[in-house]
Amino acid sequence: MFIPLTSLDLSLAAVLVVLLAVLSWRMQLNVTQQLIIAAIRTTVQLLLIGLVLKTVFANVNFFWVSLICLLMLSVAGWEILSRQRRKLKGWWGFGVSTASLFVSSFFISILALVTIIQSDPWYHPQYSIPLLGMLLGNTMTGIALGMDRLVQTAWQQRGIIEQRLMLGQTGIQAIMDIRKESMRAGMIPIINSMAAAGIVSLPGMMTGQILAGAPPVEAVKYQILIMFLITAGTGFGVIAVLGFLSHRLFDDRHRLRFDQLLKTTGD
């Protein structure tokens, strides 16, 4: 049985966030403003997307579905870039992150819609937009973590890398161990989530379906599908972006080019 929520119900939940903000202010944690802004953004953004999806669901159109998906992809690319302590100069940072998201999340979403879910039409917004959103959200986190770890560690160990280069190693060989650890850092969160699903936590999609009245077994099937797709998307995205970024850190003569490539923020 589906139980609709009223504005009063949501207000009661919002009170908890306000109490947390007051507590963080009293403890001088310096996150009060970010917390309030994030809560406001969540409310406004979700209400807006709810109205947009209501219209799109009622009028299935490939153009509007594609436009929404491209907007989601662009925002996710900027979010990845904003989480980097040392960012690529120019459009490279946005281009690298967005391209990796496109290769991983978009490809896997289309594959799942066409071969597994088989909705009619295959781009039906009821399935395509939520699926892509879940993949982008999780893949974005993995790619951001991997990129930040690779660039930050390479910057901190640039002396060691340059010594390896002087000993005759190529740029990729000199940075190989850092790249492997960065890939691992990007994939560990989703691996942990998958390992803990059903025992430590009930994933969000499964919980939402059950609350909406779907049979628990069917909700579990969809959640397993989503977890596998998210894991594959995150893994492929992290591997792709770090592989490309590793090459970009060196010029044609295998020299580090931090000054030409990165916006540094200090040691």
Q: Domain residues of the chain, as ranges? A: 1-59, 61-263
Q: Is the pTM of this model over 0.85?
A: no
Residue found under tokens 């020299």? 255
Query: pLDDT tens digit string along 58-110?
Result: 888 899 899 999 999 998 888 888 777 777 766 777 888 888 888 888 889 99
Q: In terms of DSSP bridges, do strands 262-263 and 87-88 run parallel, antiparallel, or are they unpaired?
A: antiparallel
Nearest Cα to Cα of residue 229 among 211, 205, 202:
205
- Lookup: tokens for 228: 């596998």
Mean pLDDT, range 233-256, rounded to an integer: 85
Q: Return the pLDDT at 97.
A: 83
- pLDDT band at 259; cut points 50, 70, 90: low
CA-CA distances (angstroms) from residue 5 to 53, 65, 88?
18, 27, 44
Task: Calculate the average pLDDT of the chain.
Answer: 86
Task: Say whether pLDDT at 37 is over 90.
Answer: yes
In this predicted structure, which of 95-104, 149-158, 210-219, 255-264 has the lowest mean pLDDT? 255-264
Contact 144, 83 (CB under 8 A): yes
Q: Return the pLDDT at 215.
A: 86
- pLDDT band at 36; cut points 50, 70, 90: very high
Give the C-alpha separation, 142 to 56, whole Å.
Answer: 30
